[in-house]
Structure 1
Amino acid sequence: MKFLNRWWVVVGSVFGLLVGNGPIMQFTFGVFLLPLGKEFGWSRSSTSLALAIGLTVTAIFVPIAGRLVDRYGIRVVTLASITLFSLALASVAFFATTLTSFIIIYAIMGIGAAGQTPLPYAKAVSTWFDEKRGLALGVAMSGVGVGVALVPKYAQSVMDQFGWRGAYLGLAILTFVVGVLAVLLASKEPSHHSVKQSAEDIPGLTARQAFRTATFWKLAIAFVAVVFAMNGALVHVVPMLIGRGVSADIAASSMAFAGVALIAGRLLAGYMLDRVFAPYVASVLFAIPLVGLIILFATTTSGYASVAVVLIGLGLGAEVDLIAFLLSRYLGLKSFGEIYGYLFASFMIGNAVGPYVMSLSFDMTGSYHVGLAILGVALLVGSATVLSLGEYRYPQVKRQGS
């Protein structure tokens, strides 16, 4: 099929990220947390350790995936990752009979998830778009929000019919079919006929050069702190609401609010990034979830909890866009895949630690209040750090006649 329009990259990215590591591995975990505990007698913190280890493994392997994407292209790496990720999901249904085997499978899943992150899609979109890059990234990354809105409910529905093992199989099938079709449809980089630049001509820093800049470490700290807070809260929304007397089905449905907010956050961030200085956009969108955490801390009313989920989802929706956009403007595109991999590794560390801290808070105190307070402090740190970045080093190229 002749590739006629660069926006097909965005369309393919939406569908690929709908079944990416976030919606499938992270945001369905709360749906499985209580059924697994009921069947095996595992505590929430013990069960959540599997997700923490899986996400940590992803953090280790994302830079490797980024380097492979830079060298071999998006399709080869992403298709291999989707296959491994789907097989790991299916194996939970057959081989997760002990906590140890469950953790090992999630660790393997974490390897596959490294190429199932937004990394390959962000690289494709950033390569095709300079003008309107923020909007294109926002639309592409909204696929995660669509997945968060739909996939937990899908998992709960399959679980109601076939149990938690059937739900893991259902997730595996969904991931493989949708993911492979999305990558084959449109997720590709410009050919050499379209982009006549050698690697030396591409503006930006190498990964080694980036490591020596304060900007790289500021970005890493900001992303760790913010996703630690937002993902830590969202992963535990379902058990938190069930603990407040909400049915499991309605609690799982609450994640649809988070998904819609993720979409809104990504589109809002994408629109604003092309018009407003990115650190200002980031600081505001990182501050909004703080209000959500305060609501969860101060009230136990389930209706207010839905409002909190929306506010947290708005901030989390913006963050993945911001990683790609800030990287392209401050560190350039020369080694985009590898540097993005390292930054996304920091993102995944926050993803892993946040939910585990919340589990420990519940197991040790019987409530989530201590954990929510810690998450709030982390949001303040992330917002302050991103404001210290300074001016863009690689601003948009002004084209004559445009």
Structure 2
Amino acid sequence: MISKNQPPYYGWVIVVLAALAMLATLPGRTVGLGLITEPLIAEFGLTRIEYARFNMIATLLGTVGALIAGPLTDRFGIRITLSGTLILFGGLVMAMSQWVTAATVMAFLILTRAVGQSALSTISVTSVGKWFTKRLAIAMGIFSVIVAIGFGVAIVGAQAQIAIDGWRKVWMTIGLSVLTLGLLCVALARQRDSSHQASEELGNEAALTLREALRTPCFWIFGVGMALYGGLIASVSLFNESILQELGFGQETFRYAMAGLMTAGLLGNMVAAWSARRIGLPRVMAVSLAILTIVMLTYNHLQSDWQVIMHAGIFGFCGGVFSVLFFTGFGQAFGQTHLGKIQGCAQALAVMASALGPWWLADVQQRFGSYFFAMTSAAPVFASVAICAWFTKIPSRKSL
């Protein structure tokens, strides 16, 4: 039982800081780069297949960031890794806003992908997992709400501002904000210690090592399922404006579709958290993958603005589900002790998929003149993994 004199659990401060750090990854994520895809293509005279290839190479190389960030977080703690990565990433975004050219765009894409999408995302999620065990679902629910609302507001606001001031000025402002958050984390972020942990937050006795986790079907079903979603959402986010143009919709529809995609994740967060307690995380993933299968098969049948926004909302709903799965699944399945390494490997899978997805989509579009052949051909893969996920169990040491 918690003493009345015990101060409020500091983990809730970490939840807020981690959520803000996840928001700070926007310039390094596909959904953020999607906001400046068309300006970059126009400014540097790139074709979409060239830009997709740049993005693929940068994202694949950037995967190293997740593999490094996980072990560093396990070893050095949250304050050093979170604040240091935020400060570094803020500086990179500011530098990109001023110095990127046709000759340096690849280098900046690699660095922002490695530090932002890979490293900072891994540290953000791991930070919450390090502070919570039994209340992890609640903590990640709050985390997800902050992230979903924040991304929704940031996407609409950034795109509107880019149309007024240009992407370089907006990127400079974002970079300065990220750097400021890093300095704030120097003062506020800290590692969990015995004086701040309630008995209900303990529970590492059954923690699995990275090698043990890699031997379980659960890791690979979680990892592959999340990678499939990551590749799909990266493809759609990066070329969503062009996809909607193929369907005959304009930029305003694109703007609201992207905002709907992010904010509908709130409902996905709540449904996933509620249903995970009743049917288990693997089956929650199975249902979400089945929904995505239907979404891909109906993409080219959208005929009105409200259908586009609703379709994007379903994407966002599934994104909210996958957020809960990614943020809580590995901690619940494998424990906290080696969570940084395990989460880093899972993040690496997702990042590789987000690299290959847009390149594959652009290549199919160039070959067949349409994006939707790719959607239709990928649907059976999602359906197959959904079936496997339905029959997957959370591992235990006895099963190893």
| Shared fold per TM-score greater than 0.5 | yes
For residue 10 of structure 1, the aligned residue among 6, 9, 15 is 15
Matches within 5 A, 1:270-349: 270-349=273-352
Aligned residues: 389
Which stretch of structure 1 is more off in the superposition, 129-138 or 72-81? 129-138
Q: Which residue of 1 aligns with 2:162?
A: 159
The Cα offsets for residues 194-253 of structure 1, whole Å up to 9 and x where unpaired, read as 4599x9964312112323334333332222223222332233222222444433244223
SS of match in other structure, 1:389: coil
SS of match in other structure, 1:92: helix
Q: Which residue of 1 aligns with 2:60?
A: 56
**Cα offset for 1:184?**
5.0
Matches within 5 A, 1:107-126: 107-113=110-116, 114-117=118-121, 119-126=122-129
Distance (whole Å) between structure 1 residues aligned to residue 191 and residue 274 of structure 2: 23
**Cα offset for 1:282?**
1.6
Matches within 5 A, 1:19-58: 19-21=24-26, 25-58=29-62
Q: Which residue of 2 aligns with 1:206?
A: 209
SS of match in other structure, 1:116: helix
Residues 137 and 270, structure 1, Cα contact 8 Å, conserved in 2: no
Residues 144 and 262, structure 1, Cα contact 8 Å, conserved in 2: no
Matches within 5 A, 1:1-400: 4-5=8-9, 6-21=11-26, 25-98=29-102, 100-113=103-116, 114-117=118-121, 119-178=122-181, 180-181=183-184, 183=185, 187-195=189-197, 202-393=205-396
Distance (whole Å) between structure 1 residues aligned to residue 322 and residue 340 of structure 2: 17
Distance (whole Å) between structure 2 residues aligned to residue 201 and residue 258 of structure 1: 36
**Cα offset for 1:300?**
4.5
Distance (whole Å) between structure 1 residues aligned to residue 334 and residue 109 of structure 2: 33
The Cα offsets for residues 263-286 of structure 1, whole Å up to 9 and x where unpaired, read as 322232223324431112221122
Distance (whole Å) between structure 2 residues aligned to residue 169 and residue 3 of structure 1: 39
Distance (whole Å) between structure 2 residues aligned to residue 366 and residue 303 of structure 1: 25
The Cα offsets for residues 330-382 of structure 1, whole Å up to 9 and x where unpaired, read as 32222011111001111111122222222222222222112212342332233
Distance (whole Å) between structure 1 residues aligned to residue 206 and residue 186 of structure 2: 29
Residues 207 and 339, structure 1, Cα contact 8 Å, conserved in 2: yes
- Judged with a 3 Å threshold, the aligned counterparts in structure 2 of structure 1 residues 354 and 201 are, in CA distance, closer, same or farther, namely closer
- Judged with a 3 Å threshold, the aligned counterparts in structure 2 of structure 1 residues 186 and 308 are, in CA distance, closer, same or farther, namely farther
SS of match in other structure, 1:28: helix
Distance (whole Å) between structure 2 residues aligned to residue 280 and residue 259 of structure 1: 23
**Cα offset for 1:191?**
1.1
Distance (whole Å) between structure 2 residues aligned to residue 276 and residue 132 of structure 1: 18
Structure 2: state its 5+ residue gaps: 1-5
- Judged with a 3 Å threshold, the aligned counterparts in structure 2 of structure 1 residues 205 and 28 are, in CA distance, closer, same or farther, namely same
**Cα offset for 1:36?**
1.9
- Judged with a 3 Å threshold, the aligned counterparts in structure 2 of structure 1 residues 291 and 189 are, in CA distance, closer, same or farther, namely farther
The Cα offsets for residues 286-343 of structure 1, whole Å up to 9 and x where unpaired, read as 2223332233122344432211111111112221321242222332222011111001
Distance (whole Å) between structure 1 residues aligned to residue 227 and residue 195 of structure 2: 38
**Cα offset for 1:383?**
1.7
SS of match in other structure, 2:279: coil
Residues 204 and 336, structure 2, Cα contact 8 Å, conserved in 1: no
Letter in 2 for 1:81: T
- Judged with a 3 Å threshold, the aligned counterparts in structure 2 of structure 1 residues 390 and 201 are, in CA distance, closer, same or farther, namely closer
Q: Which residue of 2 aligns with 1:398?
A: none
Structure 1: state its 5+ residue gaps: 396-402
SS of match in other structure, 1:236: helix
Q: Which residue of 2 aligns with 1:400?
A: none
Residues 268 and 316, structure 2, Cα contact 8 Å, conserved in 1: yes
- Judged with a 3 Å threshold, the aligned counterparts in structure 2 of structure 1 residues 315 and 297 are, in CA distance, closer, same or farther, namely same
Distance (whole Å) between structure 2 residues aligned to residue 281 and residue 184 of structure 1: 37
Residues 231 and 355, structure 2, Cα contact 8 Å, conserved in 1: yes
- Judged with a 3 Å threshold, the aligned counterparts in structure 2 of structure 1 residues 24 and 267 are, in CA distance, closer, same or farther, namely farther
Distance (whole Å) between structure 2 residues aligned to residue 277 and residue 37 of structure 1: 44
Distance (whole Å) between structure 2 residues aligned to residue 36 and residue 350 of structure 1: 22
Residues 87 and 172, structure 1, Cα contact 8 Å, conserved in 2: yes
Q: Percent identity?
A: 19
- Judged with a 3 Å threshold, the aligned counterparts in structure 2 of structure 1 residues 12 and 3 are, in CA distance, closer, same or farther, namely farther
Question: CA RMSD, aligned part only?
Answer: 2.8
Deviating above 6 A after TM superposition, structure 1's stretches of 4 or more consecutive aligned residues are none
Distance (whole Å) between structure 1 residues aligned to residue 242 and residue 145 of structure 2: 25
- Judged with a 3 Å threshold, the aligned counterparts in structure 2 of structure 1 residues 358 and 196 are, in CA distance, closer, same or farther, namely same
User: With structure 2 as the length reference, what TM-score do the two structures score?
Assistant: 0.87
Distance (whole Å) between structure 2 residues aligned to residue 186 and residue 394 of structure 1: 36
Distance (whole Å) between structure 2 residues aligned to residue 147 and residue 55 of structure 1: 24
User: With structure 1 as the length reference, what TM-score do the two structures score?
Assistant: 0.87
**Cα offset for 1:187?**
4.7
